[in-house]
Structure 1
Amino acid sequence: MSTPAILNELIRAGATVRRDGDKVKIKGADVIPVELLERARAERAAILAALPDTPTTTELRRRLADLCRREGLPDRLAATLIDADLVGCELLSDEGLRRWLHVLDENRRMRQGLTPPGWTQASYCRRCGPVLLWQGAPPVVLGCPWCHMRRIGGHLPRPAVTCATCAHQQRRADTSTAGMHGCAKGNALHHAHQQHVCADWAPVLSTANNSAGARP
């Protein structure tokens, strides 16, 4: 069996094959037929030559640590990654790794109930309610990155909103509370344009665009 044929058989069997220095790493070897593994071992030199020469995990971790320092990200962001997290990352450019690290940092902050840097736009998620998203995100979305945090019971930072822009506002007729708006959800009275945090806020224009916005 030729080297390309062996690689194809390994991949069809559900294995991931990559080069790590002068070693061939086969992930999922426990479900691969023994005969196929023996053929792969016998053709190790040819398989090494056929696979792209990728940096070792140690070198990759050094690149990630350098990028964390350059981007002002926590050192532990790269230090706590296990080898399984790094599969395929050795083929990414520094720009690709930089973006990946920022996504990891966003997820870390969200798990802590913190808003990722630059997420200052107030939007409305039909599942989470009012949320903070990145600049340029649609005003109304069907789902958002906070949905997972809500499902696991995490804290969702809420944007400051006003009753004047809420679909639940109820104008009051009595003059003793002039300028105050009632709430169909039973929340406390606020002046129409007084900013406050409210998990029940919903935009008056419920037909706003639902398409996903491009993230930086």
Structure 2
Amino acid sequence: MDTRAALLELADQLGIDRAAVVRIPSADLSLWSTVPAEALPDYLRALGDAATRQAGKAPLDDTAAIHCQRCGPVFVHPSIAACLPMVNGWARAIGCPWCAIRKAGGYIPRPRVTCETCASFQPDPVNPVAGVNTCACGHGTHYPMQRHGCGDFHPDRDNEVNRD
């Protein structure tokens, strides 16, 4: 059987968008034919997840929030978050599956965070606990406990981020 046809059939069985298989360059198909059959579903899932991220959406299984040093708060698979060190209540990573999307200028869906725990939080001088604060990164004003998505959220004041 043709390698692409076999991959398309497997993608259909796994519920993975066929477009991810169609985009595999013909020159790479010979490499795919050398992958053991039991490993193909995982390869196709990874390919489908990458396509989903490129479309600006989190894969369905990516339900854990982590803090990537370069991307900020992002969603990843819970098994990834479980093996990361916890710092100030956040699983921390030096890089993540979203780094390539960020570098390409793509959209990253964000976990919802609150300003009150961010290093860039500048409390309202009149009502520091509940007043509208400002953001040192220039993201406007939010109430300290208002949940919203923010790519520049830094969970502690000691976190210096090098973004490439």
TM-score, reference length from structure 1: 0.60
Alignment match, 1:174: 126
Alignment match, 1:165: 117
Residue 132, structure 1, aligned to residue 75, structure 2: yes
Alignment match, 2:96: 144
Residue 77, structure 1, aligned to residue 20, structure 2: yes
Alignment match, 1:32: none
The amino acid of 1:100's aligned partner reads Y
The 3 A distance-change label for structure 1 pair 100 and 151 is: same
Q: Write the distance in 2 (CA, Å) between the matches of 1:78 and 1:125.
A: 29
How much does 1:61 deviate? 2.6
Which 5+ residue runs of structure 1 have no aligned equivalent?
A: 1-55, 208-216
Alignment match, 2:10: 67
Q: Write the distance in 1 (CA, Å) between the matches of 2:19 and 2:124.
A: 54
The 3 A distance-change label for structure 1 pair 163 and 65 is: same
Q: Write the distance in 2 (CA, Å) between the matches of 1:68 and 1:205.
A: 45
TM-score, reference length from structure 2: 0.76
The amino acid of 1:179's aligned partner reads A
How much does 1:157 deviate? 1.8
The 3 A distance-change label for structure 1 pair 200 and 77 is: closer
How much does 1:97 deviate? 0.8
Q: Write the distance in 1 (CA, Å) between the matches of 2:95 and 2:43.
A: 22
How much does 1:119 deviate? 1.5
Any conservation in 1 of the 2:129–2:144 contact (CA below 8 Å)? no
Alignment match, 1:214: none
Partner SS for 2:44: helix
The 3 A distance-change label for structure 1 pair 87 and 114 is: same
Partner deviation per Cα, 1:32-69 (whole Å, 9 max, x = no partner): xxxxxxxxxxxxxxxxxxxxxxxx5x1x3332122111
Partner SS for 1:91: coil
Structure with the bigger percentage of helix: 1
Give the number of the structure with larger relative contact order, counting CA–CA contacts within 8 Å between residues 6 or more apart: 2
Percent identity of the aligned residues?
Answer: 33
The 3 A distance-change label for structure 1 pair 108 and 179 is: same
Aligned length: 149
Which 5+ residue runs of structure 2 have no aligned equivalent?
A: 85-90, 160-164
RMSD: 2.4
Residue 187, structure 1, aligned to residue 136, structure 2: no
Q: Superposed, which structure 2 residues align to 1:13-28 within 5 Å?
A: none
From 49, 53, 61, the counterpart of 1:118 = 61
Q: Write the distance in 1 (CA, Å) between the matches of 2:153 and 2:45.
A: 30
